[in-house]
Every structure is written in structure tokens, then in C-alpha cells.
């Protein structure tokens, strides 16, 4: 029986270990066996074009300066939902929830620019399409319903680094949640590699959320009782990667993001900026095809912003794609295109050069 070399981790407190066990039954100390349904089932053969894996192991770069400490643990404890898409329901029963009966105002027709970027129908997405959101509408119900996204369309192609910009409240986070499949639109649809997300079978969904799509949450969604290293190696462990391999990879990403000296700190012992870098490392460690990042540089200084943006840009350089919601113009230097949201609509889309005059940081 193979025993991972985990002498240091074996000193982990019992509560951490039980937390690991609760997470999908993964025991980091147990002998690893491939998940039963991890084998390629061929059901979607022919539609998945693999994106080249990262060719260079994350270097152990110089330590980046630490960020201002807040002492806080933004976002509070993560839940398993942070790692999951919607429950794996029967797609045929997955009707989108009805819009609120009294939204604050009716949803208009999509803007002309939204139409311009709107993609074709299912199976007709461009060959290099990774994600396509078509005329998405999302209303938060409540006493006063809020329509956060109103007919927004966005096409994410191989090689894209899209800076999703717009004023606070313009719908950036909501749109990212829809694209990730974490939330469902009231109207419109999301296509992953040309297939409606709701039509993906269980194996494809599992592969999508475990291996192909990385999320950086605005509130980080880290597990506070785990160390930085354990948080980053967790997605690999869930995929069945042996512990020593997962650890090496996680250490490499953390070092690359300037956290080589903070591997063993629990996340509540880290500054907000350090936690943000852990969250980015966790999204990148699976070498995803697409990364959806919600304000990934909101908490860091300019030097660490560059570390993060360069690491994200590597995903698009190797044929994947990044959509980063941000207020920070620093991101535009790395972007291949900019999508401007306003009041839940795509107001403009174009190259950073074309749109630079319209960017605001409010
Ligand atoms: P952004 O990311 O651009 O700041 P959001 O997507 O967070 O915008 O929010 C868009 C709008 O939706 C805002 O008016 C916000 O108040 C509202 N909103 C966001 N989340 C919720 C929610 N869970 N319930 C009700 N309204 C929400």
C-alpha cells in the first residue's frame, strides 16, 4: 500500500483532517485510487479540443512583497458550493428559475454591441469558442427584484484575456457566475465549447468543474482551517492526484505568486492580498482551460498584481482563456479585449486601445 510522504502534514490537527474527509470523501493520507467515473467515457469525444497544458513548471521566483495586512478573513468560510457547479441534476429537469414577478424594471432588448458579440446557436459556435453566453438575463428575486444582467452576450475564445469592466453593480460578478454555471440564467444560455451547459452529461460536468474551468472568487472562498498549501493542493487531490505530486505543484504555484514563505500559514493568518494570491494559485493549479476571475487583483499592490496577471495571462497564451472582472486598469495591459458592462448590458466590446478612453475605475 502506497503511503504518501506526509510526515509534516501528519501533524495536522484532527479537525483539518476530518474537514478533508468531509470534502468529497477525500482523505489525503489514504491510498489514492482513481475516481470510479474518472475514465474518459468517449461520450463527448470529438468536441473537446484540449488546450495545451502549461509547459513550464511554475518557477520559484523571488518573494513578492507582502500586502497590507487586514487580519480579516474576507468572505468567511468556504462551502463546498464554492467548488461546485449546480447540483448534478437531470438536465431535462433543469429549467431556469422564473424571473421575479416584480423586477425593478423590464428587461430591454440586448444592446447593439451585445448583438454584435452574440454567438451563433448550439453547435455553431466558432471553432475556437470556449465559452459563449447568449443574451443572458438574471434577476434576483426579492421584495424588489433586481435584474443584474439584461441580455448580455459574451464570446470567450481560445487565446482571449478579457477584462470585464464596468461600474460597481453593473453585473460583472453575476455574469461570471452565469458563465461558470454556478448560477442559471432566467433567459439565454451558456455554451461550453459549443454545447449548452445544461446538456452536458455528468462526466462532462465533472470534468469541467474539476479540471477545465478555474474560478477565482471575489471573497476568495478559501478553507480557513487549511493552510495555504493545503488549499491549493485540494483541487488536485479531489481529481485524484497523488499527494506528493499535488504538493509539488501547489508549492510551485504559491512560490510563483510570491507566497513560498507562507505555505504553512492558515488562511486567516494571511493578509487579504496574500489570500487573494492563494485563491489565484488554487484556480491555476489544475491548469484549467478557462479561468473566470472576479476582481483577482483587488487586494494587491501593483507588483503582486503583475504576478497574478502574468500567471493568468499564461492560460490564454497556451490556448486557454481568461475572463477577469476588474476595476483596475492594470489588468488592461494584459487583456486582449475589453467588455464594458453597464446596468447589466454589454455597453461596448473591443480592443483595450479602442476602449481605453471609456474605462473608468468607479
Ligand atoms: P458587479 O460585480 O458589477 O459589482 P453584481 O453582479 O455584484 O455587480 O451586482 C449587480 C446588481 O445585482 C447590483 O445591483 C447588486 O446589488 C445586485 N445583486 C447582486 N447579488 C445580489 C443578490 N444575491 N440578491 C439581490 N441582488 C443582488
8 Å CB contact between 77 and 274: no
HEC string of 264-290 equals CCEHHHCCHHHHHHHHHHHHHCCCCCE
pTM more than 0.75 = no
DSSP 52: P
Judge whether 192 lies within some domain. Answer: yes
* pLDDT for residue 63: 39
Judge whether 238 lies within some domain. Answer: yes
Judge whether 91 lies within some domain. Answer: no
* pLDDT for residue 356: 76
Judge whether 209 lies within some domain. Answer: yes
User: Count of domains in the chain?
Assistant: 1
**β-pair partners for 190:** 133
Q: Where does ligand 1 bind, in terms of residues with CB under 6 Å?
A: 140, 142, 146, 148, 166, 168-174
pLDDT values of the chain reduced to their tens digit, one per residue, 362 residues: 443 333 333 333 333 333 333 333 333 333 334 344 443 333 332 223 345 545 434 444 333 433 433 333 333 333 333 323 233 333 343 333 433 434 444 444 433 333 333 333 444 678 889 999 999 999 999 899 999 999 999 999 999 999 999 999 999 999 999 999 999 999 999 999 999 999 999 899 889 989 999 999 999 999 999 999 999 999 999 999 999 999 999 999 999 999 999 999 999 999 999 999 999 999 999 999 999 999 999 999 999 999 999 999 999 999 999 999 998 888 999 999 999 999 999 999 999 988 877 776 56
Judge whether 1 lies within some domain. Answer: no
Return the closest-CA partner of residue 343 out of 196, 94, 166.
Answer: 166
Judge whether 31 lies within some domain. Answer: no
Looking at ligand 1, which residue's alpha carbon is closest to its atom 5? 171
Judge whether 3 lies within some domain. Answer: no
Judge whether 191 lies within some domain. Answer: yes
All residues at 6 or more sequence positions from 299 whose CB lies less than 8 Å from its CB, including other chains: 67, 74, 271, 272, 273, 275, 276
By residue range, what is the domain housing residue 167?
Answer: 101-357
* pLDDT for residue 266: 97
Give dist(CA 153, CA 143) in Å, integer: 27
DSSP track, 286-321 = T--SEEEEESTTTTS-HHHHHHHHHHHHHHHHTT-E
Q: How far is the CA of 344 from the centre of ligand 1 (A)?
A: 10
Q: How far is the CA of 345 from the centre of ligand 1 (A)?
A: 13
Helices 302-317 and 272-284, interaxial angle, to 10°? 10
Q: Domain holding 331: CATH number?
A: 3.40.50.300
Amino acid at each position: 500500500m502506497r503511503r504518501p510522504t506526509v510526515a509534516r502534514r501528519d501533524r495536522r490537527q484532527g479537525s483539518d483532517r476530518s474537514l478533508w474527509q468531509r470534502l468529497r470523501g477525500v482523505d489525503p493520507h489514504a491510498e489514492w485510487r482513481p475516481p470510479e467515473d474518472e475514465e474518459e467515457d468517449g461520450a463527448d469525444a470529438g468536441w473537446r479540443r484540449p488546450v495545451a497544458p502549461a509547459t513550464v513548471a511554475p518557477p520559484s521566483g523571488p518573494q513578492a512583497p507582502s500586502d497590507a495586512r487586514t487580519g480579516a478573513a474576507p468572505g468567511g468560510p468556504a462551502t463546498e458550493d464554492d467548488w461546485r457547479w449546480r447540483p448534478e441534476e437531470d438536465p431535462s429537469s433543469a429549467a431556469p428559475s422564473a424571473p421575479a414577478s416584480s423586477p425593478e424594471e423590464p428587461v430591454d432588448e440586448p444592446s447593439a454591441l451585445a448583438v454584435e458579440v452574440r454567438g451563433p446557436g448550439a453547435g455553431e459556435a466558432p471553432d475556437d469558442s470556449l465559452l459563449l453566453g447568449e443574451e443572458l438575463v438574471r434577476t434576483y428575486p426579492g421584495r424588489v427584484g433586481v435584474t443584474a444582467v439584461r441580455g448580455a452576450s459574451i464570446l470567450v475564445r481560445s487565446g482571449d484575456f478579457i477584462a470585464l469592466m464596468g461600474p460597481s453593480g453593473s453585473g460583472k460578478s453575476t455574469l461570471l457566475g452565469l458563465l461558470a454555471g454556478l448560477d442559471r440564467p432566467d433567459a439565454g444560455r451558456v455554451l461550453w465549447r459549443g454545447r449548452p451547459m445544461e446538456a452536458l452529461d455528468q462526466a462532462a460536468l465533472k470534468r469541467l468543474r474539476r479540471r477545465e474551468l478555474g474560478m477565482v472568487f471575489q471573497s476568495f472562498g478559501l478553507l480557513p482551517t487549511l493552510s495555504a498549501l493545503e488549499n491549493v493542493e485540494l483541487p488536485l487531490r479531489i481529481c485524484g492526484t497523488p499527494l506528493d505530486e499535488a504538493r509539488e505543484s501547489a508549492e510551485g504555484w504559491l512560490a510563483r505568486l510570491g507566497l513560498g514563505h507562507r505555505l504553512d500559514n492558515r488562511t486567516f493568518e494571511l493578509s487579504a492580498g496574500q489570500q487573494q494570491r492563494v485563491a489565484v494559485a488554487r484556480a491555476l493549479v489544475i491548469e484549467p482551460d478557462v479561468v473566470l476571475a472576479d476582481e483577482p487583483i483587488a487586494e494587491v499592490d501593483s507588483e503582486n498584481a503583475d504576478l497574478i496577471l502574468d500567471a493568468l495571462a499564461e492560460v490564454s497564451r497556451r490556448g486557454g482563456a481568461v475572463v477577469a472582472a476588474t476595476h483596475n486598469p492594470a489588468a488592461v495591459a494584459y487583456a486582449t479585449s475589453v467588455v464594458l458592462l453597464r446596468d447589466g448590458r454589454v455597453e461596448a466590446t473591443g480592443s483595450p486601445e479602442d476602449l481605453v478612453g471609456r474605462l473608468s475605475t468607479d
